[in-house]
Amino acid sequence: GGTKVKVYYDPDVIASAYTLWEPEFSVTDTEGNAYDFAIVDCATAEKFLEWRIDNFNSIQSKTNGEFSGLEEHGVVGENMVKKYNLKYDQISTDDNNNAVYTPISYSECVIELGSVVVCFDNTEEQKFWDVLAAMKFVVE
């Protein structure tokens, strides 16, 4: 939407950052672990979740989706992190063309930055949260 977001980071924690394809980017920590992020044109985390639900409902290979509400996950650096959980069945077929339903559980985090949000997969790994704390997002 024309909003520019700059990402600053501590080079003692993050070795590199690069754009995969807009709006997604990745950072690699000094141990070689890569973490992916996306910047999405949504004014609030709630609007982002509404967009995710609409997007989910348009995918025919997923069914029985149950989204939790957004909850505050904690403050990391200068950012309040919110998260939601999703449980659904992934539909595929077996060798006999019978439907197979595989349960999936997913959690995503969101940071509001004024007119955009940064989203990323939720992980409980402490090293990820150390990387996130070493990042600063500036909206221009």
State how far the Cα of 108 lies from the Cα of 45, in Å rounded to an integer.
Answer: 11
State how far the Cα of 106 lies from the Cα of 53, in Å rounded to an integer.
Answer: 13
Q: What is the pLDDT of residue 77?
A: 86
Q: What is the mean pLDDT of residues 78-93?
A: 94
State how far the Cα of 129 lies from the Cα of 122, in Å rounded to an integer.
Answer: 10
- Helix, strand, coil shares, percent, the chain, to 5: 15, 55, 30
Q: What is the mean pLDDT of residues 64-92?
A: 93
Q: What is the pLDDT of residue 22?
A: 77
Q: What is the mean pLDDT of residues 59-75?
A: 92
pLDDT over 70 at 1, yes or no: no
pLDDT band per the 50, 70, 90 thresholds, residue 140: confident
pLDDT over 80 at 75, yes or no: yes
For 131, other C-beta atoms within 10 Å of its C-beta total 23
Q: What pTM, to 2 d.p., does this model score?
A: 0.84
CA-nearest of 85, 80, 44, 81 to 67 is: 85
Q: What is the mean pLDDT of residues 66-91?
A: 93
Q: What is the pLDDT of residue 4?
A: 84
Query: Cβ neighbours of residue 41 under 8 Å, at least 6 residues apart?
Result: 1, 3, 23, 115, 116
Q: What is the mean pLDDT of residues 54-81?
A: 91
State how far the Cα of 125 lies from the Cα of 46, in Å rounded to an integer.
Answer: 25
pLDDT over 80 at 2, yes or no: no
pLDDT tens digits for range 28-45: 999 999 999 999 989 899
Q: What is the pLDDT of residue 136?
A: 93
